[in-house]
A and B are shown apart, each in its own frame.
Chain A
Amino acid sequence: MSISFTLNGDAVTADVDPEKPLLWVIREDFQLTGTKFGCGIAACGACTVHVDGIAMRTCVLPVEAVAERNVRTIEDLDIDGTSNPLQTAWLEHQVPQCGYCQSGMIMAAEALLQEIPNPTDEDINAAMTNICRCGTYDRVRNAIHTAAKARQGG
């Protein structure tokens, strides 16, 4: 069966089992491996992408659920160079350690900032439920605050 959706701005069609989770469609069928597999049960957030601007965990999201919808992955975040304020802030704060969770972290943070441009620590706690086994949490928090400021023009 073919499912059509928009992936990072391009109209695409996936000719796959409609139940196949979006994570594996993105990784295997479109070879975009920035989105990671961590738990497979929506518990860690490594597989977070945006579906119509909302952060979604894709390891349990059947691809049919995104038919005709707009999917954006980490690979699209810096499409105009490295100008995304989150990525700049992430480098400024030297956030990643192993880096494996960071695509999901950044996508969750981007969705947060789109919804709440100037989040409080409580907003960050509520929105950022991704697991980082390397324990980068306090740098993630600081980088989100820095990016929020930058997005609002410093």
Chain B
Amino acid sequence: MAKGSTAAKWTRRTFLASAGLIGGGLALGLTLAPNRLKMSADTVKDADEAILNTWVKVSPENQITVLIPHSEMGQGAGTGLAQMLAEEMEADWNTVSIEQAPALHEYTNSDLGRGYIVGEGAEIPAFIYPLLDFSFLQIASGLVGQMTGGSTAIRLTGHHGMRRAGASAKGMLLAAAARDWDVPLSELEAKDSYVLHAGSNRKESFGSLATAAAEFEPSLKPDLKDPDTYKIVGTSKARLDLPEKVNGRAVFGMDVQVPEMIYAAIALPPIRDARALSVDQSGVRKRDGLGQVLNLGDVVAVTATSFWTATQVLAELNVTWDGGQQDLSSEAIRALHENDLAHKKREVMDSAGNTETSLAQGKRIDATFAVPFLAHATMEPMNCTAHVTHPTCEIWVGHQNPLFAKAAVADVLGYDKDSVTIHSQYLGGGFGRRGDMDFVTIAARIAAQLDKPVKVIWSREADMANDSYRPAILSKMAGSLDGSRISAVSHAYIDASSGMPDSERPFAFPYDVPNRQIERVKCPSPIPVGTWRAVDFTQMGFFNETFMDELAYEADVDPLQFRLDHTTDPRRRAVLQRLGKEARWGADLEPRRSQGVAMVESFGTIVAQVVDASISDDGGVRVNHVTSVVDCGRLINPDAGEAQIKGSVIFGLTSALFGEITLEGGKIVQQNFPDYRMIQMENAPSQTVYFMPSGNPPGGLGEPGVPPVTPALTNAIFAATGTRVRELPIAKHGFYGV
């Protein structure tokens, strides 16, 4: 089932360099560049220039600053990365702080991905593949990305980059002490931000050695610590970004203040691809601070000295929109999927044995599954502040991929990318949405019409109706049993292109089945779709894990045992067994209260969950408790990891209980939170999360908790009521969340 064959071996060139800092201290930079492809002279040149980049700085005062090349959107990646670096450096955690790296090539993920992964002779995870692809690089104007998504921060940057940078820095500090004290290197020890020499009882802080250390060459292949000796990694260090997130001081994109800044409110086409033919301003009342009304065709903007004024005026405009796909509806899209699945040529993703014959011989069941479009609905609506002065542009934004945003802005303005500066801010949620470019390029285009900086804020309604949604898709599965074993599974599904790299997309039926036929039909979505937390795993997880449950009941075997019976991988088996124990699987519960189980592996992490739910006679579904067992390899920060899993559970349950974006007459029906409902305190279940001890490389944690919880819930609903939920949300089957 693993798609290892799509990964590739690479060779590398590594740049690791150091420099003294003005005023003393050490800056250690590490950059990697590929030597394959000879591509992108541009990238390689930039990488060479990047020799002075900084991943870690040591000040004479012995303060250590780690530059974080990933956006902070709530996952605590900055703290986790700093832990990895501090561990190898033998730094005193209390002296470590983090800074957001600017959007420069020097901080790119893919340089790391190429370099280090490759350097170790390991395989590149296929999901990063497109970032390494020549044509992709060209499209992106030779830029490589500072991507936060695909749960990459800890897995790539941390595991392969931060650890190495920390170890190299330590090596240089030790070398400086050895020279200055005239003692053999082997007699020195680094500990808690000091270098110690036991023989002479000397002790000097990293800070006071830093300037001397900068004269030494950093090692490309420093020795890394034995994980058994870790003191910082694997502990629940408090997140470094949280103090300013409890007192209102954290600056999100929405909060940026720039001198002379004005605001803009925008109207986007109510029907996709419509254009604003005309804007009638006759209904606009006179107001103080009103700026301009701009018609850019695909967006109408009102500027003012207050966002509220701009919003009021926007509502008074009479915009005539023309064109667009007015006949689009959820029903039409469903019909299209039915038709394509029935008649279009299918692409075979996986084939083994003789599925058709097996299906005909065994006890057969068939199921059709459907999942809806889903909005990201980040808590902070889309926004971006832009100042275009010819010939430069400054952007203030919270973005999951600032480097691509920079390229996109340069492109839309026709500027050289070096004249665009991105000031990265905190993200009030990302979930994939803040990897899109629309909210950035729209702001840049509006700013290009103005002589002042402008903060463009999307209303919640604009945000919800103009998202890049999790695709609605359809799936048909069939399976057969030979006694209590699955003899065959076939699966045909619509692939609406989530934006996830094809090579990384899940398709396999993740259990041991001898006869398999997995096929897809590509049917690009008629409305924009994109990456939504855990991406395709959310749909595939629901299909596979619901169907697995159906087969278990058909075979009259306990669903958890049935999964074990069809799983050989020891890690997955261990997760299931632990889950059974921790969740007290099979405990006697009152009538109409049941447990459901599901397991999905994604982004290098296995998550299995049991949902305990009660269902009232009229279909009210109350989730009482969710138990998660997680094997994410080596855990960097248990407390931050637990938070991610718990948050993911709420995210997934929200979609199962309430989530659906629908279309009517080409328009998105849902507007704001009341009609795109969220779990609130009163609906939130209690939760327990257990991590499997593991020395395996770290897996992702921001996303893998999402996919299993929906099928675990719907399987619990079946256990309690006998009603099989094959379409989402649960309202499709007369249930509702309470």
Which chain A residues lie closer than 8 Å to B247 at the CB level? 34, 74-75, 77-78, 82, 87
Is B643 engaged at the interface, CB distance under 8 Å to the other chain?
yes
Sorted nearest first, the 9 A-B pairs with minimum C-beta distance are A34-B248, A135-B650, A100-B428, A98-B74, A99-B245, A97-B74, A33-B255, A74-B248, A137-B684
Known A32-B248, A135-B646; contact A140-B681, beta-carbon cutoff 8 A: yes
Query: In the bound complex, what is the Cα–Cα distance between A34 and B378 (angstroms)?
Result: 17
* B684–A138 touching, CB < 8 Å: yes
* B246–A96 touching, CB < 8 Å: yes
What would 23 A/B residue contacts be, using CB atoms closer than 8 Å?
Answer: A20-B306, A20-B309, A33-B248, A33-B257, A34-B249, A39-B460, A40-B672, A77-B248, A91-B243, A91-B246, A94-B236, A94-B639, A95-B242, A96-B74, A96-B246, A98-B380, A100-B378, A128-B680, A131-B680, A133-B651, A134-B429, A135-B654, A138-B687
Residue in B closest to A103 when the chains form the complex, CB atoms = B248
Total A residues in contact with B, Cβ cutoff 8 Å = 58
Residue in B closest to A143 when the chains form the complex, CB atoms = B246
Bitwise interface map of A from 38 to 75 toward B, beta carbon under 8 Å scored 1, else 0: 11110110100000000000000000000000000111
Is A37 engaged at the interface, CB distance under 8 Å to the other chain?
yes
Bitwise interface map of B from 535 to 558 toward A, beta carbon under 8 Å scored 1, else 0: 000000000000000000000000
* B307–A131 touching, CB < 8 Å: no
Residue in B closest to A35 when the chains form the complex, CB atoms = B248
* A94–B682 touching, CB < 8 Å: no
Segment 490-531 of B: residues with Cβ below 8 Å from A: none
Is B617 engaged at the interface, CB distance under 8 Å to the other chain?
no
Is A10 engaged at the interface, CB distance under 8 Å to the other chain?
no
Partner of A100, one of B252, B306, B309, B640: B252
Is B686 engaged at the interface, CB distance under 8 Å to the other chain?
yes
Residue in B closest to A87 when the chains form the complex, CB atoms = B246
Which chain B residues lie closer than 8 Å to A34 at the CB level? 247-249
Which chain A residues lie closer than 8 Å to B288 at the CB level? 17
- Besides A100-B252, A130-B681, 11 new A-B residue pairs in contact (Cβ under 8 A), listed by A number: A20-B309, A28-B308, A31-B257, A33-B251, A40-B460, A74-B247, A95-B242, A96-B242, A98-B426, A99-B250, A136-B646
Of listed B248, B287, B654, residue having the most chain A CB within 10 A: B248
Is B457 engaged at the interface, CB distance under 8 Å to the other chain?
yes
Partner of A102, one of B245, B257, B640, B679: B245
* B379–A137 touching, CB < 8 Å: no
Known A35-B248, A106-B246, A137-B650; contact A21-B308, beta-carbon cutoff 8 A: yes
Residue in A closest to B430 when the chains form the complex, CB atoms = A98
Is A24 engaged at the interface, CB distance under 8 Å to the other chain?
yes
Residue in A closest to B674 when the chains form the complex, CB atoms = A43
Q: How far is the CB of B397 from chain A (nearest CB, A)?
A: 14
* A37–B648 touching, CB < 8 Å: no
Which secondary structure dominates chain A's binding surface? loop
Query: In the bound complex, what is the Cα–Cα distance between A17 and B501 (angstroms)?
Result: 50
Query: In the bound complex, what is the Cα–Cα distance between A90 and B246 (angstroms)?
Result: 7
Q: How far is the CB of B288 from chain A (nearest CB, A)?
A: 7
Is B649 engaged at the interface, CB distance under 8 Å to the other chain?
yes
* B673–A44 touching, CB < 8 Å: yes
Is A129 engaged at the interface, CB distance under 8 Å to the other chain?
yes
* A100–B672 touching, CB < 8 Å: no
Known A34-B247, A41-B672, A137-B679; contact A99-B428, beta-carbon cutoff 8 A: yes
Q: How far is the CB of A135 from chain B (nearest CB, A)?
A: 3
Bitwise interface map of B from 73 to 84 toward A, beta carbon under 8 Å scored 1, else 0: 111100000000
Bitwise interface map of A from 123 to 151 toward B, beta carbon under 8 Å scored 1, else 0: 01110111111111111110000000000
* B681–A43 touching, CB < 8 Å: no
Known A33-B255, A75-B247, A91-B242; contact A98-B682, beta-carbon cutoff 8 A: no
Which chain B residues lie closer than 8 Å to A106 at the CB level? 246
Query: In the bound complex, what is the Cα–Cα distance between A34 and B257 (angstroms)?
Result: 13
Is B238 engaged at the interface, CB distance under 8 Å to the other chain?
yes
Segment 627-681 of B: residues with Cβ below 8 Å from A: 639-640, 643-644, 646-651, 654, 672-674, 678-681
* B679–A134 touching, CB < 8 Å: no
Known A21-B308, A133-B377; contact A94-B242, beta-carbon cutoff 8 A: yes
Partner of B307, one of A24, A38, A74: A24
* B379–A98 touching, CB < 8 Å: yes
* A135–B380 touching, CB < 8 Å: no
Is B427 engaged at the interface, CB distance under 8 Å to the other chain?
yes
Query: In the bound complex, what is the Cα–Cα distance between A126 and B236 (angstroms)?
Result: 32
Residue in B closest to A33 when the chains form the complex, CB atoms = B255
Residue in B closest to A75 when the chains form the complex, CB atoms = B248
Is B381 engaged at the interface, CB distance under 8 Å to the other chain?
yes
* A135–B246 touching, CB < 8 Å: no
* A125–B457 touching, CB < 8 Å: no
* A133–B308 touching, CB < 8 Å: no
Of listed B74, B249, B263, B287, residue having the most chain A CB within 10 A: B74
Of listed B306, B377, B459, B654, residue having the most chain A CB within 10 A: B306
Partner of A134, one of B309, B379, B426, B672: B379
